[in-house]
Amino acid sequence: MSNVITEANWKFHWRLTESAGIMIYLADYRGRRVLWEASLPYVTIDHQHEALEVEGDPGDVHGPWWIPLGTRTLQGPVRVQSFRGGVELSAAFAAGPYNYTQLWRFHDDGRLCPWLTIYGPGIHDQHTYHPHWRFDFDLDGARHDAFERFEDAQWQRVEREGWFPYSGEADDHGNVWRQIDVGSGAAINIRPHSWDDAEVFAIRYHDGEWAPYSPRSAAGAQTFPSAYVGDESLDGDDVTLWYVAHVHFSQSFPYTAGPWVKVAGFGA
């Protein structure tokens, strides 16, 4: 199977990684570069105890754990399928009581869906999934980016690196964050799933700050991507975005987490 797909106004490459699921790289929409690379570096899981009384609640006693989504947990082949108005990649991963289907869906109107369907019982009901996606968008070149969030009823430019949770406020189309190429005016709009309890980390790109092979930083230190967040300026530079969802298990599973991403400002 070729790892380059040209369909639905998109041209992109993919490969299966050792730990970050299916990685998409060098993606163009209508002949213009959108993405350098994007992947799902990890899905951490933590557990809670069901305590009726606050006094007796020990809190989170145990730490989180995770298992790589990659060649060692892949179930069957990576599938490439066309659908009306687009093309999608999907792959199923299993690790004991945890099951996932990773999806990358490309629509001909510029939408891109990096999604993860989560199912399986877990080891008990009280657990929460934290899928982490990393996007290195290069709209019309790597630099001259700006990052904005919708806040106080308008788009606000974000000057410096940071963590930006979804506050419940969105523009008319449901978009909460966006990355803009200042030179061309093209943009990537990000609309979270309403139930993802999502947040975005905006980080200035640095060689060496590649997708880590674990969320685990040094003992007691912030995990990644928080460990990458400093106080650097974003405006006009190359920006990397992390989208993190927090999904508590419920009986209504399976649940599909992940944002809608849409390219805007690209002429036909």
Partner 1 sequence: MASSKKPVKAAKPPQKKPKSPAVRGAVPARRVPEPDVAKADPRLFDPLTPGEIADALRTLTEDRRLATMAKVGRYRVICTEPLVVKPPHWMAGHRLVRVVAFDYAADRTVDACVDLDAGVVAHLELTKAQPMLSRDEEALAVSIAMVDDRVREQLALGDMPQSTLHYWGRSPDDLAFARRSAAVVFGRGDGHASIVAIVDLLENIVTQVVPAELW
Task: Report 71-130 residues binding partner 1 (CB under 8 A).
Answer: 72, 95-98, 109-111, 120-124
Beta bridge partners of 176: none
Candidate list 22, 92, 241, 263; residue touching partner 1; CB under 8 A:
263
Q: Mention every residue, 6+ apart, whose C-beta is less than 8 A from residue 27.
A: 10, 11, 12, 13, 33, 34, 35, 38, 112
Question: Whole-number minimum distance, CB 199 to partner 1, in Å?
Answer: 20
Question: What does the per-residue mask of binding to partner 1 show for 193-232, with x meaning CB under 8 A?
Answer: ------------x-xx-x-xxx-xxxxx------------
Least separation in angstroms between residue 32's CB and partner 1 is: 8
Phi, psi (degrees; rounded to nearest 5) at 228: -90, -15
Identify the burial level of 223 via C-beta atoms within 10 angstroms of its C-beta, where 0-12 means exposed, 13-18 middle and 19 or more buried. Answer: middle
Minimum CB distance to partner 1 smaller for 16 or for 103 = 16
Residue 168: half-sphere exposure toward Cβ, Cα within 13 Å: 0
Q: How far is Cα 24 from Cα 242, in angstroms, rounded to an integer? A: 15
The least CB distance from residue 90 to partner 1, in Å, is 20
The CA-atom distances, in angstroms, between 259 and each of 192, 221, 236, 245, 256 are 4, 28, 24, 9, 10
Checking DSSP bridges between strand 65-66 and strand 127-137, what pairing results, if any?
unpaired
Over the window 49 to 68, marking each residue x when it contacts partner 1 by CB under 8 A and - when it does not, the resulting string is: -----------xxxxxxxxx
- The nearer residue to partner 1, 186 or 200, going by C-beta atoms, is 186
Contact 229, 241 (CB under 8 A): no
Q: Which stretch binds partner 1 (CB under 8 A): 75-83, 85-93, 137-145, 192-200?
A: 137-145
The correct pick among 13, 163, 195, 256 for binding partner 1 (CB under 8 A) is: 13
Give the whole-angstrom CA distance, residue 130 versus residue 217. 16
Is residue 94 packed enough to be buried (19+ CB in 10 Å), middle (13-18) or exposed (0-12)? middle
Q: How far is the CB of 196 from partner 1 (least distance, A)?
A: 19
Q: Would you say 188 and 147 are in contact if contact means Cβ atoms under 8 Å apart?
A: no
In the set 74, 113, 142, 170, which binds partner 1 (CB under 8 A)?
142
Nearer to partner 1, 90 or 240 (CB): 240
Which CB sits closer to partner 1, 76 or 121? Answer: 121
Looking at residue 182, its amino acid is: V
Q: Which is nearer to partner 1, 163 or 216 (CB)?
A: 216
Site for partner 1 in 171-200 (CB under 8 A): 173, 175, 178, 180, 182, 184-187, 189
> Between residues 113 and 264, which has the closer beta carbon with respect to partner 1?
264
Considering only 170, 235, 237, 246, the residue that binds partner 1 (CB under 8 A) is: 235
